């Protein structure tokens, strides 16, 4: 499927931590949905104690690259590492727990022919998530983010997107890829400032097969609120290309 001697069109980046109950099923599903495209799946494990890395490495799947980061744990830095290790022209970033549904992959890839960046959103018509409390909190936070940053993307937290490699190179990785989900807020902010063409598609939050996700909703949103404020006021009047 994917080796260094053949051109790879699509690279799917999967940052993961303690996802042994989900990761192989997800890889199989991604592979099936991208069977019409030359592709690779890049798994970046953040030194999971549950053996996620060994599980993927021992699968010996020819279209999978797997890496282990053993220091400086960070979702955003794992994503950056995966991007830098990938060789695709089109890059897709998604969670490793089925919260991001693989069935959206074909439409995301196909629309990169016409747009620079495809973003799945829970807050456009057809998007949704089951937990009403989390849905409302995320919706309100995204409204706050749009108002403060003066941007239009409706969901800066979902983190399920596809982008052309040359478009991603327009942003300074050091300013974006650190921390946790707040990296996505920064990425959306800088790309919109660059006026890249963005298509939002409806995204419904999926259900993980096993394991536990982030349960600290309010604390996380408070942290992200601070990052939005810092992003707006610390970049105001500065040259964002540096």
- Give residue-wise pLDDT tens across range 120-155: 999 999 999 989 999 999 999 999 999 999 999 999
Residue 116 Cα distances to 39, 90, 166, 170, 197, angstroms: 19, 10, 9, 11, 5
Q: What's the pLDDT score for residue 216? A: 72
- Give residue-wise pLDDT tens across range 175-193: 999 999 999 999 999 999 9
pLDDT at 240 over 60: no
Q: What's the pLDDT score for residue 8? A: 57
Q: Extract the tokens encoding 198.
A: 């963005």
pLDDT at 27 over 80: yes
Closest by Cα among 149, 152, 129 to 213: 129
Number of domains in the chain: 1
- Average pLDDT score over residue span 23-49: 96
DSSP states of 85-117 = H---SEEEE--SSSSS-GGGHHHHHHHTTT-SE
The verdict on residue 113 lying in a domain is yes
The verdict on residue 3 lying in a domain is no
| pTM for this model (two decimals) | 0.90
The verdict on residue 240 lying in a domain is no
**Beta-carbon count within 10 A of 197 CB:** 11
Across 77-86, 118-127, 231-240, least confident range: 231-240
The verdict on residue 40 lying in a domain is yes
pLDDT at 32 over 50: yes
- Average pLDDT score over residue span 193-212: 88
The verdict on residue 1 lying in a domain is no
Residues in the chain, total: 242
Q: What's the pLDDT score for residue 207? A: 83
Closest by Cα among 47, 39, 41 to 16: 47
The verdict on residue 5 lying in a domain is no
Structural domain range at position 220: 10-235
The verdict on residue 242 lying in a domain is no
User: The CATH number of the domain where 103 resides is what?
Assistant: 3.90.550.10
Is residue 60 within 8 Å of residue 28, measured between CB atoms? no
Q: What's the pLDDT score for residue 234? A: 78
């Amino acid at each position: 499927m994917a080796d260094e001697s053949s051109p790879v069109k699509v690279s799917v980046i999967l940052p993961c931590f303690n996802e042994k109950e989900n990761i192989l099923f997800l890889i199989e599903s991604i592979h099936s949905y991208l069977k019409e495209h030359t592709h690779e799946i890049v798994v970046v494990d953040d030194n999971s104690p549950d053996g996620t890395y060994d599980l993927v490495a021992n699968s010996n799947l020819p279209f999978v690259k797997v890496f282990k980061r053993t220091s400086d744990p960070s979702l955003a830095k794992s994503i950056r590492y995966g991007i830098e290790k990938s060789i695709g022209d089109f890059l897709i970033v998604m969670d490793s727990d089925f919260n991001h549904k693989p069935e959206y992959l074909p439409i995301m890839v196909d629309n990169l022919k016409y747009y620079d960046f495809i973003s799945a959103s829970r807050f456009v018509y057809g998007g949704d998530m089951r937990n009403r409390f989390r849905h409302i909190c995320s919706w309100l936070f995204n409204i706050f983010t749009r108002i403060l940053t003066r941007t239009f993307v409706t969901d800066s937290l979902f983190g399920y997107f596809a982008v052309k490699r040359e478009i991603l190179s327009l942003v300074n990785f050091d300013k974006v890829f650190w921390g946790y989900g707040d990296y996505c807020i920064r990425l959306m902010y800088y790309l919109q400032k660059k006026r890249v063409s963005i298509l939002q598609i409806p995204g419904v939050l999926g259900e993980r097969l096993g394991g536990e996700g982030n349960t600290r909703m309010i604390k996380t949103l408070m942290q992200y609120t601070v990052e939005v404020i810092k992003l707006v006021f610390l970049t105001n009047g500065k040259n964002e290309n540096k």
